[in-house]
Homo-oligomer: A and B are copies of this chain.
C-alpha cells in the first residue's frame, strides 16, 4: 500500500471519550502498524450531545461558558462554541435547558423553560454571529420555545395584560404576543436546527404526548400541555401569521421547534447532515484509503441518522471503505452493512463492570485499532 490516508470520523463515546479523544486513541493504535500514514481527525456528532465539542474540535474553534437561566429558573452554567472560522456558532439547547438540570423530584414540564437557550442565542448575536447550528436534543422543557423567544425580546401576555409565567403550563392563558421588542439581529441570522424527529407540535404524535412523560408529565399534565400548545400555535397563527402546529419537527424539544419557526429564521435538518457539512468531512474523505467511524453504542437504530450512518454515506460517495468501532455492538447490526458500513468491531476485551469499561475506553480503542491495522496489513501483504 502506498502511504495510506486514514480519516478518523467517530462520534463521542458517551461517558467515556469525546470524539476527539476517540480520534486520538484510534490514531495511536493504527500508527503502531502504519507509522508513516496520514491521519485526518474529524471529530463527529449527530446533532445530539457532544455536537458543540466535536465541531469545535474539528475546526479548532473555541468554547465559551456563561451563566444563564436554567429550566427551573435558577442560574446554571451553560456553554456554546464558535467554530474555527469565527463565523458559525454551535449551541446545544440541553446545555442551558437540558434534562440533566432537573431531578426526579423537581422535574415539571408545566414550568420548565427554554429561556436559557434564548440567552445562549443572544450571546451569539452579541458576538456578531450570522449562522448558528442549534442542537435541540435532551430538553427538559415543554414550553413551545416561548422562553427562548422571551429571552430574545418577545413578550407573552394573558387577557388581563399580565406577563405569563414561564413554562408550557401557562400557555393556555396566552392572549397576546408582542414581538416589537424582539432582537432585530435575529432576522439576519440563519439558524440550522439539528432535528431528527418529525413530530408535529400537538396531538397524539405531538411534543406533549410523545416526549412529555419522559420529562415528568402525568397523563393529566400531557392533556393540559397539549391543549396549551395547541392554543399557543393558534395565537401564533393569528398574530404572527405563521403555521407551526403541524409542521414536521415543530414538536421537537417540547415544541422548541415550533418556537424557532415562529420567531427566528431557521431550517430544520437531520443533525448528522449538518455536522457532515460543517465538519468538512467530504473534502477530507477525498482520496482517503480507509475511514474509521464509531459511536458508544452501534445497533440497527444507527441507520436512522446516527453518526456512523452519516459518515458511511459520505465515505461511500467517495469510494472509501468504512470501518466502525464501537463500545457496544447492539442488536441487528447486520442492518448497517447495507448502509455502507463495511465492518464493525467492538472494543470490550472482557466481561467487566461498565464503569471500568468506560474508563478503559481509550486503551481498548487503541488496542482494537492496532489489531484492525494488523489484520489490514496482513491482508495487504498477503
Query: Chain A residues in contact with chain B, CB under 8 A?
Result: 1, 289-290, 297, 321, 323, 327-330, 333, 337, 342-354, 357, 367-368, 371-372, 374-376, 378-380, 382
Contacts and interface: CB of A to CB of B under 8 A. Distances in A.
A151 to B, nearest CB: 41
A1 B344 CA distance: 22
Given A321-B378, A328-B350, 17 more contacts: A289-B382, A323-B378, A327-B350, A328-B349, A328-B351, A329-B349, A337-B374, A343-B371, A343-B372, A343-B378, A346-B347, A348-B349, A348-B350, A351-B351, A351-B353, A375-B375, A376-B379
Contacts of A367: 329, 333
Nearest to A373: B343
A363 to B, nearest CB: 11
Nearest to A321: B378
Contacts of A345: 345, 368, 371
A346 B343 contact: no
A378 B354 CA distance: 32
23 contacts: A1-B382, A289-B382, A290-B382, A328-B350, A328-B351, A333-B367, A337-B374, A343-B372, A343-B374, A343-B375, A344-B371, A345-B345, A345-B368, A346-B346, A346-B349, A346-B350, A348-B348, A348-B351, A351-B353, A351-B354, A375-B379, A376-B379, A379-B380
Q: How many copies does the complex hold?
A: 2
A352 B342 CA distance: 26
Q: List 5 A-B pairs, minimum CB-CB distance, nearest first.
A: A379-B379, A329-B349, A343-B374, A328-B350, A343-B375
Nearest to A1: B382
A342 B380 CA distance: 13
Nearest to A355: B351
Most chain B beta-carbon contacts within 10 A, residue among A1, A289, A376: A376
A330 B350 contact: yes
Nearest to A324: B371
B329 A375 contact: no
A352 B382 CA distance: 36
Contacts of A374: 337, 342-343
Nearest to A353: B351
Nearest to A376: B379
A39 to B, nearest CB: 18
A349 B346 CA distance: 6
Contacts of A352: 351
Contacts of A342: 374-375, 378
Given A321-B378, A382-B289, A382-B321, A350 B329 contact: yes
A374 B336 CA distance: 13
A346 B325 CA distance: 12
A368 B346 CA distance: 9
A302 to B, nearest CB: 14
Contacts of A343: 371-372, 374-375, 378
A165 B352 CA distance: 47
Contacts of A375: 323, 342-343, 372, 375-376, 379
Contacts of A353: 351
